[in-house]
Amino acid sequence: MRFLLTILVVIIFNILNVQSQIQYVNFQPFTNSKCTGTSQGIGYSIQLDTCTTYDKNNTYIFTSSTNQVKWAQYSVSNVVDPVCSGSAKTTQTVSIGKCIQNTNIAFDDSSFPVYKYYYKVSVSNQPLVNSNSYIKSFMYNVGSCNENEVTNLQYFSNATKAVENSTQKPSSYYCSGSNEPYTYYCSIWGCGPTYTAANCQQINSTSPTLINNNNYYSVFCN
Ligand SMILES: *[C@@H]1O[C@H](CO)[C@@H](O)[C@H](O)[C@H]1NC(C)=O
Ligand SMILES: *[C@@H]1O[C@H](CO)[C@@H](O)[C@H](O)[C@H]1NC(C)=O
Ligand SMILES: *[C@@H]1O[C@H](CO)[C@@H](O)[C@H](O)[C@H]1NC(C)=O
Ligand SMILES: *[C@@H]1O[C@H](CO)[C@@H](O)[C@H](O)[C@H]1NC(C)=O
């Protein structure tokens, strides 16, 4: 009896432990429909059960159930905190472990993929990031700047092109030979690189996304 009780306690403890573990859903980009070979393109890694955003226009919340990840997208405008309530603009369900193609898989309006990548969907305890990538990382709802408390991140393989969804204005994401992140885009002033490295820092009104005392971001090449 005592033995059984011990086992029961161990099982309950494990269940609690698993539930309190932070998990991420990963969308790893590929250019072929089998998701094989070198991963290339724009990838995402996002904390489950947390309202997140990459731009000021859309928030997302991802949840997982057996073998599936479901998400809901909400329209917002210049909010101070990410809010995921009310009626969702879109919802979608994908299978974990599958290689999927979907034009709706683009979570950042400021850097929309120009190609329809295939994504390998996985769930992990740490964000999944390709090496040799340009990385934009966000840390929401944390009390201090801590790279280990990533809420959501986005990564681009070298020389990946993207467009701003609303204007279709293109830009490309690079890591220099010395691993400095830069974007390359053209304006009426001409075309050129802009170096964009940012150590973990608080988001403010000139930053790419939300304005909140508890929001941080960083930009780097790994
Ligand atoms: C967000 O929406 C506004 C209004 O439609 C638009 O001007 C802005 O460019 C959008 N932001 C991004 C990052 O696409
Ligand atoms: C991108 O822009 C189109 C056209 O404005 C819009 O319908 C779509 O919802 C946008 N995508 C996202 C993810 O916001
Ligand atoms: C990325 O591509 C650019 C242009 O092709 C190249 O100059 C640079 O060395 C590449 N960066 C890395 C880290 O390989
Ligand atoms: C906002 O952040 C940028 C980039 O980190 C920094 O250069 C700027 O001084 C900040 N502005 C304010 C008002 O804090």
Give distance in angstroms: CA of 57 to centre of ligand 2. Answer: 10
User: Three-state SS for 199?
Assistant: strand
Pocket of ligand 3 contains residue 193 by CB under 6 Å = no
CB 116 within 8 A of CB 60: no
- pLDDT at residue 207 in the model: 65
- pLDDT at residue 195 in the model: 94
Give distance in angstroms: CA of 165 to centre of ligand 2. Answer: 6
* Termini Cα distance of the chain: 53
What element of type H or E holds 182?
strand 181-187
| Residue ranges lining ligand 4, Cβ < 6 Å | 201, 204, 206-207
- pLDDT at residue 180 in the model: 97
Ligand nearest to the CA of 199: 4
CB 58 within 8 A of CB 150: no
How many domains is the chain built from? 1
- pLDDT at residue 202 in the model: 84
Range of the domain at 71: 2-221
Question: Which residue has a Cα nearest atom 8 of ligand 4?
Answer: 206
pLDDT digits (tens, 9 = 90+) for 20-41: 689 999 999 999 999 999 999 9
pLDDT digits (tens, 9 = 90+) for 193-208: 999 999 998 887 666 6
Distance from C-alpha of 151 to C-alpha of 217, rounded to nearest angstrom: 10
By C-alpha distance, which of 80, 83, 99, 95 is closest to 41? 99
Pocket of ligand 3 contains residue 132 by CB under 6 Å = yes
Distance from C-alpha of 49 to C-alpha of 105, rounded to nearest angstrom: 18
Pocket of ligand 3 contains residue 222 by CB under 6 Å = no
Q: Whole-model pTM? A: 0.86
- pLDDT at residue 3 in the model: 54
At 89, give phi and psi (nearest 5°): -75, -45
- pLDDT at residue 176 in the model: 97
In the structure encoding, which two tokens stand for residue 42, read together? 């724009």
**What are the Cα distances from residue 128, in Å, to 32, 102, 135, 152, 165?**
19, 20, 11, 10, 25
> Half-sphere exposure (CA, 13 Å, Cβ side) for 104?
12
- pLDDT at residue 154 in the model: 97
- pLDDT at residue 209 in the model: 63
Query: pLDDT in tens for each of the 222 residues of the chain?
Result: 555 555 555 555 555 555 568 999 999 999 999 999 999 999 999 999 999 988 878 899 999 999 999 999 998 876 677 889 889 999 999 999 999 997 778 899 999 999 889 999 999 999 999 999 999 999 987 878 888 889 999 999 999 999 998 899 999 999 999 999 999 998 888 899 999 999 998 887 666 666 666 788 999 999
